[in-house]
Amino acid sequence: MFGDNEKISSPAETLTPAAQGAQNVAMNAAVREAVSMAVAEAVKSVFAGLAPVFQEMKMTPEKLQELKRPWVDPKVLAREARENKNSRVQLEEQRRMDEQRKADCPHLDKNNNLALGLLRNFHDRNPRGVCMLCNDLIHPKEWRIGAPDPNTGETVPYLQPAHKDYHLVKRAISMIA
């Protein structure tokens, strides 16, 4: 149809450079607008999908308080609880053994002499004895003040009976005098 020497005219060749520039600007603006609308739609769809996640991440005062608390390793807590339980058991066992040792002690040394040290500096001027073998404080009948009542806060005095071996303290005093 066309000869070899015929030129095919294109719309770009018919435009002047100024018209070509205006056309490029208009085309670029249209492309930019289409691209920005496509990006906006994509962002909207992404955020619509993430809305439930953001709702869960929303900071509430309770969550802020939870974040302020220092993190504690559950293994550390379990170990501390185990150690506390073991130490309470050991302390109870030690207390029971001390009571048994004090109850079984004859308060006599190898030569069957009294192993008591006398204390005379108490406010009621009654002598007391300390066994040098079991460290038991041997006391007379005396008034003591009990622990405060948890409900009222009042302390109640009570009469503590004499130690079962107080007669040994009396014997030690009679040996001195």
Total domains present in the chain = 1
Question: What is this structure's pTM?
Answer: 0.54
Q: Check: CB of residue 102 under 8 Å from CB of residue 128.
A: no
Does pLDDT of 147 surpass 70? yes
Q: What is the pLDDT of residue 12?
A: 52
159 CB-near residues (< 8 Å, 6+ apart): 141, 142, 143, 144
pLDDT tier at 14 (50, 70, 90 boundaries)?
low
Is 174 among the domain residues? Answer: yes
35-54 pLDDT, tens digit per residue, is 888 888 888 888 888 778 77
Is 104 among the domain residues? Answer: no
Average pLDDT over residues 78-104: 97
Is 98 among the domain residues? Answer: no
pLDDT tier at 8 (50, 70, 90 boundaries)?
low
- Domain interval for residue 114: 110-177
Question: Coil, strand or helix: which one is 160?
Answer: strand
Is 83 among the domain residues? Answer: no
The owner of tokens 């302020």 is 68
